[in-house]
Amino acid sequence: MAFHARFVADSVLGDELRTNDFARPVREQRRAALDQLFRSEVLVGGTLGATLYGPEGRVTYSTDHALIGRASRRPATSMETSVQEWAGTKALNVYVPVRVGQGEAGTFALHQDYGPIAASARKAFIPVAGVLELALIGLYLSLFPLLRRVTRRLRGHLEEIEHQALHDGLTGLPNRDLFRRRIDEALAEAQQRRTGVSVLLLDLDRFKEINDTLGHQSGDLLLQALAKRLETLIRDTDTVARLGGDEFAIVSPGAGNEGDALVLAERIRAGLEAPFALAGLTVEVEASVGIALYPDHGDDVEALIRHADVAMYNGKKTHRPMLYSPKDDHYSPDRLALVGELRRAIANRELVIHYQPRVELATGDVHAVEALVRWDHPERGLLSPGEFLPLAEHTGMIRPLTRYVMDAALADCAGWAQEGLRPGVSVNLSARDLLDADLPREVESLLSKHGVDPTLLEVEITEHTILTDPERARIVLERLRDLGVRLSIDDFGTGFSSLGQLKRLPVDVLKIDRSFVLNMEHDDNDDVIVRSTIELGHNLGLRVVAEGVETQETWGRLAQLGCDTAQGFFISRPLPRVVLVEWLKKRGSEEPPRRMRLVG
């Protein structure tokens, strides 16, 4: 038992314990870590528990948490034993002085249930027990030098294994486990000094594309080069780690506030600007960066990593390093409450659909309307899709939501047909929808449920949506196309889809993103983009729709450029179903050339 205590103190604890563990009663998080360490490494057989004492004799940690913080014994200078009650049980206690790092740190104690020891001592002759104990001590002393050598070698091996366990094989950077440890250490120090810590998460944009086009080997080379580059961009006190895939992370105890963190993020961004040379090719990379700060955004490892991740995800949209903000956090308690409400909203049919007409520029005819979902929230009023779609997309609610919208839009489409109106309807899909192989079957059954001609249905997908998994998306889209459903690429020009990809997809329509159309009157570049997109679409045999047409001038210019169809506030805002029917009837009765009026 004494031997066990000494061995534990020498080999296991010397590495695992920190000076801080003896300096003051440990915090809750560290206490949990120590509980685990002791449970897995130390507590064997009849061992009741273990205790750490600081240099002044205060209990800084004990497996019996009630003892933590109590002052109870002077520090041990060499191994000592006692038979005394411990945590309500008579125990054999062994105290061993422990060094952590260089100096003397405190005392480590193991408490062994005395009952079985006493019983076996009583059973045997007590003198025999005494002799045995002496013999054991003799044996221990004689074996000590050998043991030290073995321990040293063992420790060498252990260090190697530990290095492997805590570092990433490809780049040699610390891995996720070590990264968490480093954050933990930085937090302990920051707490003491009342300073801050920043945690940055980096994710390469388009790494998958690089990997797919240049091959995995080049992908690996890029990650290695990137790791080296990142190491040159941080300070000695910072740690850069690879968390997996193309995700890297930095913990910086030096960057303790927003300003410092943003400066660091900017240094990283600028540092990644120079292209990487890979086997004769130069590759440019860009990374999205998310930042979470201690103490503002969280005070433990989990919260900081998760919040930096949320910020990074938002950074992907803005292409700027982003600080965590609870309002963008889909998992914050507020948002979680909303998830429950959204589920209820779908069940209670609180989601409503507004329809925005699309008008043929040449004839003024309306061949189609776009279904745009809104949430008629009992307390918050009418919520726009931007306020709840990201939530639905993050929580698996998007599939039921899409089904709901599709069902309602097809029901309305069937209703219009009965009133002698015949616009088709287009429904927006999200990435998750396209990854679901069941979608085509679902669409087919909704079409037949409402008796709508499949050619009247169009689905809109963004370039971004396809990029998540182009192969799977293509399969789903082809099956939709086989049903007769039309397909349009929404927000065209904002993503990265290549012409090659576009050509491979069964697309019928390109919708030019409204950001280009809105400004084309004032911005020559936007005008050029719109013009060339129209040409591109026509060359590929597609029809081209311009979104965001707000003025007569834009309408005129689009007509001049030969654009096929326009959609925007100049023609009509998205309208509730009943209002749309009125609007369509009124237009139908007007004689061409129809005047464009602003409605809504």
Contact status, residue 169 vs residue 226, Cβ threshold 8 Å:
no
Tell me whether strands 322-323 and 286-294 are parallel, antiparallel or unpaired.
Answer: parallel
* Nearer to ligand C2E (CB atom), residue 121 or residue 599: 599
Can you give 99-119 as a three-state secondary structure string?
A: ECCCCEEEEEEEEEEHHHHHH
Contact status, residue 353 vs residue 412, Cβ threshold 8 Å:
yes
The identity of residue 100, as a single letter, is V
Q: Which does 269 bind (CB under 5 to 8 A by kind): ligand C2E, Mg ion, none?
A: none
For residue 517, the minimal CB distance to Mg ion (Å) is 10
For residue 347, the minimal CB distance to ligand C2E (Å) is 17
What distance in Å separates the CA atoms of residue 558 and residue 554, rounded to the nearest whole number?
Answer: 6
Tell me whether strands 276-278 and 281-283 are parallel, antiparallel or unpaired.
Answer: antiparallel
**Total residues binding ligand C2E (CB under 6 A):** 24
* Nearer to ligand C2E (CB atom), residue 175 or residue 572: 572
* Nearer to ligand C2E (CB atom), residue 398 or residue 502: 398
Asked whether position 433 contacts Mg ion by CB under 5 A, the answer is no
For residue 439, the minimal CB distance to ligand C2E (Å) is 12
Q: Which range of residues in 122-130, 144-152, 380-388, 443-451 is near ligand C2E by CB under 6 A? A: 380-388
Q: Which residues contact 392 (CB under 8 A, 6 or more apart)?
A: 342, 398, 401, 430
The residues pairing with 289 across neighbouring beta strands, listed in sequence order, are: 202
Among 251, 429, 446, 584, binds ligand C2E (CB under 6 A): 429
Q: Which does 89 bind (CB under 5 to 8 A by kind): ligand C2E, Mg ion, none?
A: none
Q: Which does 405 bind (CB under 5 to 8 A by kind): ligand C2E, Mg ion, none?
A: ligand C2E
Asked whether position 341 contacts Mg ion by CB under 5 A, the answer is no
Site string for Mg ion, 403-432 (x = CB under 5 A): -------------------------x----
* Nearer to Mg ion (CB atom), residue 230 or residue 389: 389
Count of other CB atoms within 10 angstroms of residue 597: 11
* Nearer to ligand C2E (CB atom), residue 114 or residue 583: 583
Q: Which range of residues in 115-123, 131-139, 456-464, 576-584 is near Mg ion by CB under 5 A? A: 456-464
Alpha-helical regions (H) of 272-419: 301-318, 333-347, 385-395, 398-418
For residue 101, the minimal CB distance to ligand C2E (Å) is 56
Among 21, 168, 238, 460, binds Mg ion (CB under 5 A): 460
Which residues in 503-562 contact ligand C2E (CB under 6 A)?
A: 514, 547-550
* Nearer to ligand C2E (CB atom), residue 288 or residue 402: 402
For residue 335, the minimal CB distance to Mg ion (Å) is 24
Q: Which residues contact 460 (CB under 8 A, 6 or more apart)?
A: 370, 426, 427, 428, 429, 488, 489, 490, 511
Contact status, residue 111 vs residue 92, Cβ threshold 8 Å:
yes
What distance in Å separates the CA atoms of residue 356 and residue 352, rounded to the nearest whole number?
Answer: 13
Q: Which does 574 bind (CB under 5 to 8 A by kind): ligand C2E, Mg ion, none?
A: ligand C2E
The identity of residue 95, as a single letter, is Y
For residue 208, the minimal CB distance to ligand C2E (Å) is 22
Contact status, residue 340 vs residue 350, Cβ threshold 8 Å:
no
Asked whether position 491 contacts Mg ion by CB under 5 A, the answer is yes
Which residues in 23-52 contact ligand C2E (CB under 6 A)?
A: none
For residue 343, the minimal CB distance to Mg ion (Å) is 24
Asked whether position 373 contacts ligand C2E by CB under 6 A, the answer is yes
Which residues in 551-590 contact ligand C2E (CB under 6 A)?
A: 567-569, 574
Which residues in 529-548 contact Mg ion (CB under 5 A)?
A: 547
* Nearer to ligand C2E (CB atom), residue 286 or residue 438: 438
What distance in Å separates the CA atoms of residue 284 and residue 536, rounded to the nearest whole number?
Answer: 26
State which H helix or E strand residue 22 sits in.
helix 19-23
What distance in Å separates the CA atoms of residue 40 and residue 43, rounded to the nearest whole number?
Answer: 7
Q: 481: closest CA among 431, 429, 444? A: 444
**Total residues binding Mg ion (CB under 5 A):** 5
Asked whether position 405 contacts ligand C2E by CB under 6 A, the answer is yes
Count of other CB atoms within 10 angstroms of residue 389: 19
* Backbone angles phi and psi of 22, in degrees to 5: -105, -10
For residue 406, the minimal CB distance to Mg ion (Å) is 14
- First-to-last alpha carbon distance for the chain, in angstroms, is 84
Instruction: Name the token pair of 105.
Output: 């740190």
Q: Which residue has the tokens 């600081």?
A: 54
Alpha-helical regions (H) of 359-498: 385-395, 398-418, 431-434, 439-450, 463-467, 470-483
Q: 593: closest CA among 368, 420, 359, 357? A: 359
- State the residue number with the nearest CB to ligand C2E: 568
For residue 461, the minimal CB distance to ligand C2E (Å) is 9
Among 262, 342, 366, 372, binds ligand C2E (CB under 6 A): 372
Q: Which residues bind ligand C2E (CB under 6 A)?
A: 356, 372-373, 384-386, 389, 402, 405, 428-430, 460, 490-491, 514, 547-550, 567-569, 574
Q: Which residues bind Mg ion (CB under 5 A)?
A: 428, 460, 490-491, 547
